[in-house]
Structure 1
Amino acid sequence: MEKLKLHFACGPYDRMEALASGEVKPEGIDLTYTVMDEPRDLFDRLMKSGDFDLAEMSSSEHIANTVAGTNPFVALPVFPSKVYRHSFICHNVKSGIRTPKDLAGRRIGVPLYTMSAALWCRGMLEDEYGVDLSNVTWVQGNMYKSGSHGNPSAPPLLRPIRLEQNQSQHSLSELLERGEIDATIGALTPSGLGVNPDIVRMFPNFREVEIDYYKKTKIHPIMHLVVIRKAVYEKNPWIAKSLYAAFEASKKSMWEKLQYSGAQRVMLPWLYADIEEIKQTFGDDPWPYGIEANRPTLTKAVDYMYRDAMIARKPSLDELFVDVGA
């Protein structure tokens, strides 16, 4: 029987390496893997072209478009990108900011207000530190050059906020150093961090803070998931379980390889100490897929999106993902 040809686009992640190399092959599928390094470019291309049958996608955009009824994709509960975002909240010390609550009423730069990284930064600041963000002026733009951060297809917000587009000739990083914004959040750290002594992290001990946050909440913030073009899935619904099994096998393969102590696989000097700490914190699978294993994180993401007027209602998690039995 001839295999179904599918074209997949995703970042060059270790958990996808076995799929990219062909070591793992999804049953019944001839999978072509295209590597795209810049997530925003991939998301924008995905929403505006028919180039890929399945791909990595912003979780917040998938949720928002699903609720709005404008989503041409369905999703697998496979999460290529999970990132704690405490370390991505930075500020200029000359602004007088000393504690998270000092962010109230400030001018804060963000690549995209609706991006998953910004959603998690805002939600965590409000929930864990009681930060009042209601009077913040959000300055939206590219972190490293003038202009915008991509051309997203997220639905419009359902209530107005204080949101400005950066129309200057400066990047958000430059605006932060010039004192024209007070802080930045999102998926990127400002270029002055570690170079300009005035640019610092809100949480310099972020590793300790993030571990405590996980132990308290069981949340590992999800940035991206994997979507399948709806027309492809509806014609071939069997591919969901085949692909999910392959993604699981690829992830498991790399986790085993990272733990092999005969020859260290990556350039992290304390890799094995890190692995021990990760196991003590997360258990034997530090990067689980599936709805149940990620329910606290997914539920909180939906809560934050509703609170931030990104969605009109809270969908059930079953609405957001196709059934893969996990």
Structure 2
Amino acid sequence: MTHKIPLSFASILYDRMQPLASGEIQPSGIDLNFLTLNHPRDIFDRMAGGKEFDASELSLSEYICRYAAGHRDFVAIPVFPSRAFRHSFIAVNSNSVKKPSDLSGKKIGVQLYTMTAAVWIRSVLQQHGVDLSTIQWVQGSMESGESHGKPSAMPLTKPINIEQNKSGKSLSQLLEEGEIDATIGADLPHCLGKAAHVKRMFPDFKEVEKAYYKETGIFPIMHTVVIRAELCEKYPWLATSLYNALNDSKDVARARMRFLDCLRYMLPWLAQELDEIDEVFSGDPFVYGVDSNRKTLEALIEALHEQAMIKEKLSIEELFVSPRGQNWKVGWGTTEVSR
């Protein structure tokens, strides 16, 4: 009997992870224990803070900052399970903010200054004329008066005007009551849609995000996948095996999403959405690999440097292990067999 290496892997159960989680796709040489968690912050804190898993998804900015600070305890493979445009995640007090540049000199709530979503949003704000050096950042949970998880964030490379929210109120409450002028992050405040003066900065965000992609070619990456470094040292083939399995799992999910005889997702106009995706992206929006994502990765590294999160710009090649080629395939249908 062939011996398989036991490997625990923690992730959100995305559609692109489902075939891997169910065991339909099996990474070669690995006995995978897929651990489904429901919030990424929980995964990040447990992996970065306690190394509770052999592998997991991880905040891309958190991984890059750890690497830049000299922490080489994780090896990243160029798999990006979470991506999202973030223009729609800027909520403002419309009494004081009419256009993006009005945010200069204002107080903005952010769940965590170092979270990837916030990095991308600050980059967007900067492109719209916001002077980030004038912002007073208020850091805390969007829906409670506590902190956003228990992150193991690296020290910033220069002073940034950040205060921890100690008001006992959530960022959503502070925005609703006019104590801050906006919120950014991976979540929207609950007061949006309830308080008349709280609105999205970009109400037509879909068109704005499509224009952003057309201009830049960037579909922002949020998370990557990491493996504990000592396992990759002991089993040099491990990263390639997991990379291939994650690609195969995504391929199966994409094929099933496009089976429209009966809708797999609760989206009445899924066919129209798929047509629009094809028109905008001309391929797989969630493509893995370094070369296909070079422009996006370079933009994130540039933003991390500008926003005082890394001292020096890193090369992409040193951040990710290079998989030794994707598996050859045999067979037909939506679930090809790897060899």
Question: Which interval holds the TM-score relative to the shorter structure?
Answer: over 0.9
CA distance in 1, matches of 2:46, 2:100: 36
Residue identity matched to 2:75: V
Residue identity matched to 2:249: S
1:138 is the counterpart of 2:149 = no
CA distance in 2, matches of 1:287, 1:240: 19
Q: CA deviation at 1:50?
A: 3.4
CA distance in 2, matches of 1:295, 1:276: 25
CA distance in 2, matches of 1:168, 1:229: 38
Answer whether contact 2:49 2:151 (CA < 8 A) is retained.
Answer: no
Please list the CA deviations of residues 278-325 of structure 1 after superposition, one character each: whole Å capped at 9, or x if unmatched: 011112312100011111110000000000110010110011100115
Q: Which residue of 1 aligns with 2:335?
A: none
CA distance in 2, matches of 1:6, 1:166: 39
Where structure 2 has 5 or more consecutive residues not aligned to the other structure, the ranges are 326-339
CA distance in 2, matches of 1:302, 1:52: 26
Q: Which residue of 1 aligns with 2:105?
A: 105
Q: Which residue of 1 aligns with 2:303?
A: 304
- CA separation of 1:142 and 1:71: change in aligned 2, threshold 3 A: farther
Answer whether contact 1:62 1:71 (CA < 8 A) is retained.
Answer: no
Answer whether contact 2:80 2:221 (CA < 8 A) is retained.
Answer: yes
Please list the CA deviations of residues 47-66 of structure 1 after superposition, one character each: whole Å capped at 9, or x if unmatched: 22232100010000100010
Q: CA deviation at 1:130?
A: 2.1
Structure 1 stretches of 4+ with a deviation exceeding 3 A read: none
Q: CA deviation at 1:124?
A: 1.4
Secondary structure of 1:280's partner? helix
Within-5 A mapping of 1:1-326 = 1-94=2-95, 96-127=96-127, 129-325=128-324
- The count of corresponding residues between Structure 1 and Structure 2 is 324
Residue identity matched to 1:15: R
Residue identity matched to 1:39: P
Secondary structure of 1:134's partner? helix
TM-score (ref. length: structure 1) = 0.98
Q: State the identity as a percent.
A: 50
Q: CA deviation at 1:196?
A: 1.6
CA distance in 2, matches of 1:278, 1:325: 30
Where structure 1 has 5 or more consecutive residues not aligned to the other structure, the ranges are none
CA distance in 2, matches of 1:285, 1:38: 25
TM-score (ref. length: structure 2) = 0.94
Residue identity matched to 2:248: A
CA distance in 2, matches of 1:135, 1:152: 25
Secondary structure of 2:163's partner? strand
Residue identity matched to 1:199: V
Secondary structure of 2:214's partner? helix
CA distance in 1, matches of 2:283, 2:132: 37
CA distance in 2, matches of 1:286, 1:48: 31
Q: CA deviation at 1:79?
A: 0.6
Superposition RMSD on alpha carbons, in Å?
Answer: 1.0
CA distance in 2, matches of 1:231, 1:38: 26
Answer whether contact 1:9 1:56 (CA < 8 A) is retained.
Answer: yes
Please list the CA deviations of residues 225-273 of structure 1 after superposition, one character each: whole Å capped at 9, or x if unmatched: 0000011111111011111111011101011101101110010111110
